[in-house]
Amino acid sequence: MRDEKLQGSAKKYCYDYEEYEEQGKGPETLVADILADDDFPKLTELVIGDWGDSWEDGCQAVIDGIVEQASRFSHIEKLFIGDMDYEECEVSWIIQGDYSKLWAAMPQLRELTIKGSTDLELGAVNHEKLEALTIICGGLPVDVIQAVQKAKLPNLKKLQLYIGIDNYGFDGDCKTIVELLEQSDFPKLEYLGIVDSEMQDELAEAVLASKYMGQISTLDLSMGTLTDKGGALLLEKLPAYPNVKTLDVHYHYLTDEMMEKLENLPIAVDVSEQNEAEEYRGEIWMNAMLTE
């Protein structure tokens, strides 16, 4: 097993090709190997990378192992399942799992990050202490979005959802996100990220009209196809919300003029990674940052 000491009391665990192919390692053995590590009892943050052939074998055995050994994971406050780059496994290929039993098994958890949306199920989300939920993917299914929408997370401070595109799992539309914003109930939300979409202008409009605008301090509309249409909405609407101190729109399709205008807002603004639309056979093409 490869392990990598990260910053602070965090560590990443994963398998390489040889371990999976020649030593029989995989999601069924990963939890036992983690528990056998002398460093594990001292960790507060657990990062799980490639569990071996992650495009064929999901991480359900990993999730189930954590649930079954919940008392031995009681010191873990931050959990990331699926931390792998495209050379290990494209994000759209990562087979995820069912997190339904994890919520009760880890009542101490403060942050959960999930990468990959294939076969992802959240179940009935009910957690008193969770402060941050991030789902990274190339396309977020409606049933997962609706699980977030119904979630009981009274202490959630950060929500970041990669919406993605229909080719890789997103089967909703702008109305899906409007309903999420209208019907969810996160009274302590401070960071709202609706990112990585090919309809970023429309989603910007939905977010700017949402009830959360009066309470958040960070607005994240990055990694999508935001154009000057969305930029103009931000210029028009943001001054009404002095509580918003940070705007992240990095990776975008804004013009130089709009970038300058946004940077002149009296808040911290990230307008890095400017992209240019491409024309092909008379059509204009723009892409979200993370899809396949």
**Per-residue pLDDT tens digits for 139-168:** 999 999 999 999 999 999 999 999 999 999
pLDDT value at residue 21: 72
| Alpha helix (H) residue ranges in 209-251 | 228-237
Three-state secondary-structure class, residue 182: helix
**Residue 290 domain flag:** no
The predicted-structure confidence for 129-140, as pLDDT tens digits, reads as follows 999 999 999 999
What's the structural domain count of the chain? 1
Over the range 167-200, which residues count as b (16 or more CB within 10 Å of their CB) and which as e? ebbbebeeebbbbbbeebebeebbbbbbbbbbbb
**Residue 34 domain flag:** yes
**Rounded to the nearest 5 degrees, what angle is found at the Cα of 71, between the Cα atoms of 110 and 68?**
100
pLDDT value at residue 218: 98
Is this prediction's pTM over 0.85? Answer: yes
The predicted-structure confidence for 138-147, as pLDDT tens digits, reads as follows 999 999 999 9
Tell me what the mean pLDDT of segment 249-267 comes to: 98
pLDDT for residue 252 is more than 80: yes
Tell me what the mean pLDDT of segment 10-15 comes to: 92
The CATH number for 160's domain is 3.80.10.10
The rounded percent of the chain whose pLDDT value lies above 90 is 85
Q: How confident is the model at residue 84 (pLDDT cuts 50, 70, 90)?
A: very high
**Residue 75 domain flag:** yes
Token pair of 112, please?
A: 């959960």
pLDDT value at residue 17: 76
Sheet bearing 45-48, strands edge to edge = 2-5, 10-14, 45-48, 78-81, 111-115, 132-136, 158-164, 191-197, 218-220, 246-248, 268-270
pLDDT for residue 22 is more than 70: no
**Residue 93 domain flag:** yes
Please provide residue 25's backbone torsions phi and psi, each rounded to the nearest 5 degrees.
-80, 155
Tokens 């008392």: give the residue.
Answer: 71
Q: Which domain holds residue 8?
A: 2-219
pLDDT value at residue 3: 59
pLDDT for residue 8 is more than 80: no
**Residue 172 domain flag:** yes
**Residue 255 domain flag:** no
**Residue 87 domain flag:** yes
| Alpha helix (H) residue ranges in 150-264 | 174-183, 200-208, 228-237, 256-263
Q: In 150-220, which ranges are E strands?
A: 158-164, 191-197, 218-220
Q: In Å, how far are 26, 48, 205, 223, 227 from 272, measured between CA atoms?
A: 39, 29, 21, 10, 14
| Mean pLDDT for all residues in the chain | 94
pLDDT value at residue 227: 98
pLDDT value at residue 279: 81
**Residue 261 domain flag:** no
The rounded percent of the chain whose pLDDT value lies above 70 is 97
Tell me what the mean pLDDT of segment 256-261 comes to: 98
pLDDT for residue 7 is more than 80: no
Tell me what the mean pLDDT of segment 222-243 comes to: 98
